[in-house]
């Protein structure tokens, strides 16, 4: 089909043809829009009359300096659907550390406390940013926005304003103890995808530490010996929407602690089990600290390319993702007693399951008949989403430099990826069934998924995946060398495609494990954030609705500007293309609104008034963390942070 490549003896291709990734992917507007004045205009097609409800999207606003596009202030988008219009409301998620970041960036009085980008995170003497820029979790009428390295925050679905964190600071355990990280904004390792069981009104998330195991053995030994309570751990957390967090410390059957080797990005819940997955998203401590020090030393002066290249090649060798998937299964029957606290977590046994290859995103059937857990996932084979294009990057096989406008973009895959379905015995941890598929048209870098959430059977029948395709524009020498001998390779290196493979949207039938429908986007278009929206009078069918997504592209009329659109597909007929395309322009002659790389989504049929009185006072929450800080930091909180929040 497309793998008839000519190649040199060393495996390099003679005529690599780049698929032009839009520059719009690394640019986004910071404008905060109101729905009353921001109506999207139809570009093509007709708006479905039975489209309804409210679609929420999250995105990290890129810094535009080569920092990974996953690092940035969280922007929340809400699309309001009616029979004759789609309106947009946007707000930046303004957590306490957001206001501290703003003040230290603009006020010379606090300049020494400024935050600096360090790869996938943003750090400073005050601690780390919780940018809540990744995903959502709906708790009936309530809505949370989330982050991998911070507490979830509840937002007001109507105003999009931040309301309260989930759990006070003292209910979470920091990734590094206060003797090492003394700032008032601790890093809390959690998951971007907590899980909510609407049947039991219970939310599950995690709080973990895995820093010690990443240190060289002599250093980790010293850390454990001389720093109190500095062991790695994994705690399961349950929250019932009110009151304090309940906590269980996970152990394996032999009594050893559950230690996460890479990162926890997601947690899933079935009727009888909670499942944690050690994701193929390896957070590299050395990378973060090195880039932080570079930014501190440079004091805002651009670092020459050769220095950044030297640092990455000599001092920061790429640590490959582990070539397998590790799951930890907990019985919900073991959670009948109340959980413990930070000081005294209850001990709880988890069963470990390992199978190959690696994975990052998953979803489970809610029902688990006979204790059988059905797991659906994407295997991100030879795809390292913790690596990005930067000014020190060299293209894998080209003399043409990587376009500066793509600096910050995540690298692409070094092999075809796969979609899988597994049936696992929840009691023994045995993998009873496994089905994997790959498709040369559609499974190059499957990234984000959606499915009908209205079904009541608890069985997932259809999953819609967006795939980011394959492009040599997104491959560097660093990544190529690291993954050229990938253990589970399906496509030989010399058979990797010359011609870039399109970005696509696919429909997977989970029973047959077949891709039954799909759409491939033209070169220069990039899909993000697919969301299933049921029809207004839907009976709950898995395909009875629409797939709404953002499609990024560049404006050919105005070089350097974006022409981002919102596309609406009939979920039962992707191949016909979008039934409606929309864009947002304040005036016809102006460029369209730039979304950037939006991430995860959720949909609410209606916005309900919040009835919960749960509220963590920001002033009280940071009281203990601020009281021993220098006077400048106390002034910063009193003048620049606390006034933005009610007591």
Chain-wide mean pLDDT for the chain? Answer: 90
Who's near 218: CB < 8 A, 6+ residues apart?
A: none
pLDDT band of residue 416 (cuts 50, 70, 90) is very high
Residue 230 has a pLDDT of: 79
- Summarised one tens digit per residue, pLDDT across range 220-273 is 666 666 676 778 999 999 999 999 999 999 999 999 999 999 999 999 999 999
Residues of the chain with pLDDT > 70, as a percent, come to 88
Rounded to a whole number of angstroms, the distance between the first and last alpha carbons of the chain is 63
Is the pLDDT at 9 greater than 50, yes or no?
Answer: no
Cα(448)–Cα(530) distance, integer angstroms: 7
Cα(221)–Cα(78) distance, integer angstroms: 49
Cα(149)–Cα(128) distance, integer angstroms: 9
Cα(595)–Cα(100) distance, integer angstroms: 25
Q: Which two tokens stand for residue 470?
A: 């394959």
Residue 12 has a pLDDT of: 36
By C-alpha distance, which of 297, 279, 281 is closest to 118? 297
Q: Mean pLDDT lowest for which of 177-181, 360-364, 498-502, 516-520?
A: 177-181
For the residues of 360-427, what is the DSSP string, one character each? Answer: S-EEE-S--GGGEEEEEEEE-TT--TT-B--TT--BTT-SSPPPGGGTTPBP--SS--EEEEEEEETT
| Average confidence (pLDDT) over 146-162 | 97
The answer to whether the CB of 387 falls within 8 A of the CB of 408 is: no
Indicate the DSSP class of residue 513: T
pLDDT band of residue 62 (cuts 50, 70, 90) is very high
Cα(186)–Cα(87) distance, integer angstroms: 37
Strand partners, 263: 279
By C-alpha distance, which of 520, 518, 529, 507 is closest to 462? 507
Residue 342 has a pLDDT of: 95
Residue 181 has a pLDDT of: 75
- Summarised one tens digit per residue, pLDDT across range 421-463 is 999 999 999 999 999 999 999 999 999 999 987 655 579 999 9
Residue 176 has a pLDDT of: 84
- Summarised one tens digit per residue, pLDDT across range 195-230 is 999 999 999 999 999 987 776 666 666 666 667 677
- Summarised one tens digit per residue, pLDDT across range 600-646 is 999 999 999 999 999 999 999 999 999 999 999 999 999 999 999 97
Residue 539 has a pLDDT of: 81
Is the pLDDT at 131 greater than 80, yes or no?
Answer: yes
| Average confidence (pLDDT) over 518-534 | 96
Burial label for 3, CB within 10 Å (0-12, 13-18, 19+), is: middle
Is the pLDDT at 5 greater than 60, yes or no?
Answer: no
Structural class in CATH, domain 23-360+368-644: mainly beta
Q: Which two tokens stand for residue 90?
A: 């946007």
| Average confidence (pLDDT) over 275-291 | 80
Residue 177 has a pLDDT of: 76
Better-predicted residue by pLDDT, 403 or 218? 403
Is the pLDDT at 3 greater than 50, yes or no?
Answer: no
Q: Which two tokens stand for residue 357?
A: 């290859």
Residues of the chain with pLDDT > 90, as a percent, come to 77
- Summarised one tens digit per residue, pLDDT across range 456-486 is 557 999 999 999 999 999 999 999 999 999 9
Residue 344 has a pLDDT of: 95
Cα(336)–Cα(307) distance, integer angstroms: 56
Dihedral angle of Cα 536, 75, 277, 528, to the nearest 10 degrees = 60
Residue 261 has a pLDDT of: 93
For 369, phi and psi rounded to 5 degrees?
-60, 140
């Amino acid at each position: 089909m497309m793998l008839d490549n000519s190649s040199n003896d060393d495996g390099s291709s003679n005529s690599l043809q780049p698929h032009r990734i839009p520059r719009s992917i690394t640019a986004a507007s910071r404008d905060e829009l109101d729905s009353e004045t921001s109506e999207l205009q139809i570009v093509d097609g007709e708006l479905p009359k039975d489209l309804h409800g409210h679609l929420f999207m999250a995105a990290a606003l890129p810094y535009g300096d080569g920092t990974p596009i996953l690092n940035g202030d969280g922007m929340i988008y809400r699309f309001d659907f009616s029979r004759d219009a789609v309106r947009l409301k946007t707000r930046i998620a303004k957590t306490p550390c957001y206001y501290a970041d703003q003040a230290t960036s603009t006020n010379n009085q606090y300049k020494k406390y400024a935050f600096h980008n360090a790869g996938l995170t943003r750090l400073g003497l005050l601690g780390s940013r919780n940018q809540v820029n990744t995903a959502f979790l709906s708790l009936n009428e309530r809505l949370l926005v989330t982050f991998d390295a911070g507490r979830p925050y509840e937002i007001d679905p109507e105003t999009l304003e931040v309301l309260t964190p989930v759990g006070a600071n003292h209910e979470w355990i920091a990734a590094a103890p206060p003797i090492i990280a003394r700032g008032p904004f601790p890093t809390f390792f959690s998951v971007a995808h907590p899980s909510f069981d609407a049947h039991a009104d219970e939310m599950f998330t995690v709080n973990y530490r895995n820093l010690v195991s990443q240190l060289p053995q002599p250093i980790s030994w010293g850390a454990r010996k001389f720093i109190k309570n500095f062991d790695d751990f994994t705690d399961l957390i349950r929250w019932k929407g009110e009151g304090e967090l309940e906590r269980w410390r996970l152990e394996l059957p032999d009594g050893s602690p559950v230690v996460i080797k890479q990162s926890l990005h997601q947690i899933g819940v079935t009727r009888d089990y909670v499942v944690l997955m050690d994701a193929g998203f390896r957070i590299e401590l050395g990378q973060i600290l090195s880039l932080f020090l570079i930014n501190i030393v440079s004091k805002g002066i651009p670092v020459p390319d050769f220095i950044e290249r030297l640092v990455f090649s000599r001092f920061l060798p790429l640590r490959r993702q582990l070539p397998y998937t590790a799951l930890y299964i907990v019985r919900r029957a073991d959670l009948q007693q109340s959980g413990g606290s930070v000081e005294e977590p209850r001990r709880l046994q988890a069963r470990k399951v390992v199978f190959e290859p690696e994975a990052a995103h998953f979803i489970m059937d809610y029902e688990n008949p006979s204790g059988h857990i059905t797991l659906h996932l994407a295997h991100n084979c030879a795809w390292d989403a913790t690596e990005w294009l930067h000014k020190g990057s060299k293209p894998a096989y080209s003399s043409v430099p990587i376009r500066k406008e793509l600096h910050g973009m995540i690298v692409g895959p070094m092999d075809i990826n796969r979609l899988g379905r597994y049936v696992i015995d929840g009691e023994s941890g045995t993998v009873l069934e496994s089905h994997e598929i790959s498709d040369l048209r559609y499974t190059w870098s499957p990234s984000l998924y959606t499915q009908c959430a209205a079904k009541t059977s608890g069985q997932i029948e259809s999953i819609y995946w967006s795939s980011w395709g394959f492009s040599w524009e997104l491959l560097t020498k660093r990544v190529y060398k690291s993954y050229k001998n990938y253990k589970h390779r399906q496509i030989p290196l010399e058979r990797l495609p010359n011609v870039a493979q399109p970005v696509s949207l696919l429909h997977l039938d989970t029973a047959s494990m077949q891709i039954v429908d799909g759409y491939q986007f033209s070169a220069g278009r990039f899909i993000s954030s697919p969301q299933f929206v049921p029809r207004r009078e839907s009976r709950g069918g898995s395909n009875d609705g629409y797939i709404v997504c953002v499609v990024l592209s560049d404006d050919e009329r105005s070089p350097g500007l974006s022409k981002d659109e919102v596309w609406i597909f009939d979920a039962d007929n992707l191949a016909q293309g979008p039934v409606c395309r929309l864009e947002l322009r304040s005036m016809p002659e102006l460029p369209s609104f730039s979304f950037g790389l939006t991430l995860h989504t959720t949909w609410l049929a209606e916005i309900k008034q919040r009835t919960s009185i749960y509220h963590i006072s920001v002033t009280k929450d940071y009281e203990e963390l601020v009281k021993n800080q220098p006077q400048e930091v106390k002034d910063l909180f009193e003048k620049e942070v606390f006034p933005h929040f009610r007591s």
